[in-house]
């Protein structure tokens, strides 16, 4: 039961589900034939080789590798396929 008289977390059920990507022996990832790969880019707020950058950590998700390539060109880190979505 939802108590609207006070602020609280309420269970709202399962919002979405994904299919994990398969990882090959060489480390490459792929998705089953009935799904689409979802790619992720990270804005590099916490780079591995230095202190935190002055912006908040953030990720972007897309079905298009070209979107990731554009973001990588301006300094984001491409993270490849992170999960698979229904086609």
**Residue 85 CB neighbour total at 10 angstroms:** 15
Using one digit for the tens of pLDDT, what is the confidence trace for 29-85? Answer: 999 999 999 999 999 888 878 888 888 889 999 999 999 999 999 999 999 999 999
Question: 42: how many CB neighbours lie within 10 A of its CB?
Answer: 16
pLDDT of res. 57:
87
Question: What pLDDT does 70 receive?
Answer: 97
pTM listed for this prediction: 0.75
């Amino acid at each position: 039961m939802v108590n609207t008289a006070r602020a609280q977390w309420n269970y709202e059920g399962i919002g979405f589900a994904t299919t994990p990507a398969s990882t090959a022996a060489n480390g490459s990832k792929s998705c089953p034939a009935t799904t689409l790969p979802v790619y992720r880019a990270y804005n590099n707020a916490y780079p591995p080789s230095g202190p935190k950058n002055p912006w908040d950590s953030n990720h972007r998700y897309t079905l298009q590798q070209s979107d990731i390539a554009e973001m990588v060109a301006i300094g984001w880190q491409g993270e490849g396929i992170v999960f698979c979505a229904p086609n």
